[in-house]
């Protein structure tokens, strides 16, 4: 039976409610504007879509909009840490929630490590440009992917800058979420300024011939240019949008979650989609798309033009700052997913222990940081980035399904935010997510299946034996916290 509902039913006296709407919008922008603009735009254009990557970003943003409207209804009803995992546990059962939570673990850990490796590449280039190069033995991963299933040794020890940035961000997160959010706000201002300067300064240098044809003809292979290439690129770049999910993960630290979480998610999504489309249009306009498959496509493009070469150092600084803020938000989100799963008994209680001074789940931060640093130090970007998008899309699909289920099962529950036209919006969200998943490579699906199988083993050996009832139940009239079984 649900407990009596206090004035703020989700204020459990542990995580501090210190984030306002602008903090949350900045949190979303901090995660979304980063790897997508500074790394993935060039990769997707050169390998899959050409200038049509602009359309890919529009499709991905539209899919996120439908899912975001469903997320916002869930988040206003269950404004606590854990995002899609918590929503699923409260509405659709423990096993499905575990599968979503387990995939969110992979999503955020792999994403944080991937972005840290990308940050390392820009940082190494920046240090080399001022005559202070990182020793080669500590500048990259000790292994590299040389073929479909071929891994070769590189002769290096580990990626020291990638490990260092994860260590620094982990410390910032332990000190406190408001400190982290203010740190993120400063980084967001810097990188948004640089992104806008690049867009406006380079717009007049666009060469129309570089946009012709806007969608290059298909090479005869599905996913390589043509419309299938545009759709394949959509799934690949969807990795850029996981910051939108990270906003809902911080719901338990929002001052007014019923209002602020929808504002944070939809506001950051709208701003970032527009910026992605503008940047990809400018980037493929000032440089042939075939030249953009490099770790630093934006600085490479502006360096190629005499009139914009002066921008290159600022782009490098923006990438260093921008990617660092992405790592911050991803590690924040990961620790909060662990926190929620631990509170439900699905993983050990250490992950929900809150620091007595900083009021942060510091043990979860440390464990998350250690694993992310290990992955970033030892694995290259192309191996790390394989599974991020598909895990995100799976979580978004479940959320869209769950909102419709609740509209049928519990139509009278108070919904501070209601998904507009839910019987159109939610199915469109499901369709868009499944559509993007369908165009991802088969090996991505196989790796997801292996990870899910490992998760099921963990679930039946540990989680099912230690799980509590959901801490939050949605009833016909109200919602309140639920304590562990007596």
Residue 279 domain flag: yes
pTM of the model: 0.76
User: With 70 as the cut, is the pLDDT of residue 145 above it?
Assistant: no
User: With 60 as the cut, is the pLDDT of residue 81 above it?
Assistant: no
Residue 205 domain flag: yes
User: With 60 as the cut, is the pLDDT of residue 13 above it?
Assistant: no
- pLDDT for the residue numbered 151: 72
- pLDDT for the residue numbered 282: 92
Pairing mode, strands 479-481 and 472-474:
antiparallel
Q: Which tokens in the block code for residue 295?
A: 């770790």
How many angstroms separate the CA atoms of 147 and 343, rounded?
42
- pLDDT for the residue numbered 148: 47
Give the confidence band of 480 by pLDDT, cuts at 50, 70, 90: very low
How many angstroms separate the CA atoms of 105 and 92, rounded?
19
Residue with tokens 């719901």: 251
Q: Which tokens in the block code for residue 113?
A: 């490590």
Residue 15 domain flag: no
Residue 18 domain flag: no
Q: What is the mean pLDDT of the chain?
A: 79
- pLDDT for the residue numbered 17: 58
Tell me whether residue 73 is exposed, middle or buried, using C-beta atoms within 10 angstroms of its C-beta: 0 to 12, 13 to 18, 19 or more. buried
Residue 6 domain flag: no
Under a CB-based contact definition with an 8 Å cutoff, are residues 151 and 143 in contact?
yes
- pLDDT for the residue numbered 167: 93
177-206 pLDDT tens trace: 555 556 667 777 888 888 888 899 888 889
Residue 117's domain comprises 23-481
Residue of higher predicted confidence among 94 and 144 = 94
398-445 pLDDT tens trace: 888 888 988 888 888 777 778 889 999 999 999 988 988 887 777 778
- pLDDT for the residue numbered 178: 57
Query: Which CATH number fits the domain that encloses residue 74?
Result: 1.20.1740.10
User: With 60 as the cut, is the pLDDT of residue 162 above it?
Assistant: yes
Number of domains in the chain: 1
Q: What is the mean pLDDT of residues 58-75?
A: 84
Q: What is the mean pLDDT of residues 129-133?
A: 84
Give, in degrees to the nearest 5, the angle at Cα 371 between 366 and 374. 125
Q: Strands, E, within 102-246: which ranges? A: 143-145, 151-153
Under a CB-based contact definition with an 8 Å cutoff, are residues 246 and 28 in contact?
yes
- Percent of the chain whose predicted confidence (pLDDT) is above 90: 12
**Least confident range of 117-121, 140-144, 242-246, 440-444:** 242-246
Q: What is the mean pLDDT of residues 35-55?
A: 84
User: With 70 as the cut, is the pLDDT of residue 88 above it?
Assistant: yes
Residue 10 domain flag: no
Q: What is the mean pLDDT of residues 38-58?
A: 86
Q: What is the mean pLDDT of residues 228-245?
A: 79
- pLDDT for the residue numbered 51: 92
Residue of higher predicted confidence among 22 and 99 = 99
**Least confident range of 152-156, 295-299, 482-486:** 482-486
Under a CB-based contact definition with an 8 Å cutoff, are residues 202 and 350 in contact?
no
């Amino acid at each position: 039976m649900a407990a009596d509902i206090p004035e703020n039913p989700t204020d459990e006296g542990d995580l501090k409610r210190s984030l306002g709407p602008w903090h949350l919008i900045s949190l979303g922008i901090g995660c979304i504007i980063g790897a997508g603009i500074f790394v993935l735009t060039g990769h997707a254009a050169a390998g899959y879509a050409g200038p049509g990557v602009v359309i890919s970003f529009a499709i991905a943003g539209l899919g996120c909009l439908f899912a975001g409207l469903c997320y916002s209804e869930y988040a206003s009803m269950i404004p606590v840490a854990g995002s899609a995992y918590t929503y699923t546990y409260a509405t659709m059962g423990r096993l499905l929630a575990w599968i979503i939570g387990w995939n969110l673990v992979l999503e955020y850990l792999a994403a944080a490590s991937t972005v840290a490796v990308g940050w390392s590449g820009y940082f190494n280039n920046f240090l080399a440009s001022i005559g202070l190069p990182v020793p080669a033995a500590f500048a990259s991963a000790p292994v590299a992917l040389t073929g479909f299933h071929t891994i070769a040794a590189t002769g290096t020890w580990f990626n020291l800058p990638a490990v260092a940035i994860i260590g620094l961000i982990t410390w910032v997160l332990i000190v406190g979420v408001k400190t982290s959010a203010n740190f993120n706000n400063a980084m967001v201002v810097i990188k948004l300024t640089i992104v806008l300067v690049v867009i406006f300064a380079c717009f007049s240098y666009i060469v129309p011939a570089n946009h012709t044809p806007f969608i290059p003809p298909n090479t005869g292979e599905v996913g390589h240019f043509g419309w299938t290439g545009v759709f394949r690129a959509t799934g690949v770049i969807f990795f850029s949008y996981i910051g939108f999910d990270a906003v809902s993960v911080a719901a338990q630290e929002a001052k007014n979650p019923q209002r602020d979480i929808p504002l944070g998610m939809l506001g950051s999504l709208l701003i970032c989609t527009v910026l992605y489309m503008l940047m990809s249009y400018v980037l493929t306009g000032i440089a042939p798309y075939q030249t953009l498959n490099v770790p630093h496509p934006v600085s490479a493009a502006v360096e190629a033009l005499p009139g914009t070469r002066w921008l290159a150092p600022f782009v490098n600084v923006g990438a260093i700052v921008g990617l660092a803020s992405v790592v911050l938000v991803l590690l924040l989100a990961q620790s909060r997913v662990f926190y929620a799963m631990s509170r439900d008994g699905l993983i050990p209680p250490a992950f929900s222990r809150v620091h007595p001074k900083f009021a942060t789940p510091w043990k979860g931060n440390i464990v998350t940081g250690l694993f992310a640093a290990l992955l970033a130090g030892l694995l290259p970007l192309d191996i790390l980035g394989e599974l991020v998008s598909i895990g995100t899309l799976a979580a978004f699909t479940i959320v869209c399904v769950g909102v419709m289920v609740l509209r049928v099962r519990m139509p009278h529950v108070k919904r501070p935010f209601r998904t507009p036209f839910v019987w159109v919006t939610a199915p469109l969200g499901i369709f868009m997510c499944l559509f993007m998943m369908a165009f991802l490579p088969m090996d991505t699906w196989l790796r997801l299946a292996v990870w899910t199988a490992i998760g099921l083993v963990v679930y039946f050996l540990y989680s099912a034996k230690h799980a509590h009832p959901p801490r939050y139940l949605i009833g016909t009239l109200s919602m309140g916290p639920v304590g562990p079984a007596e």
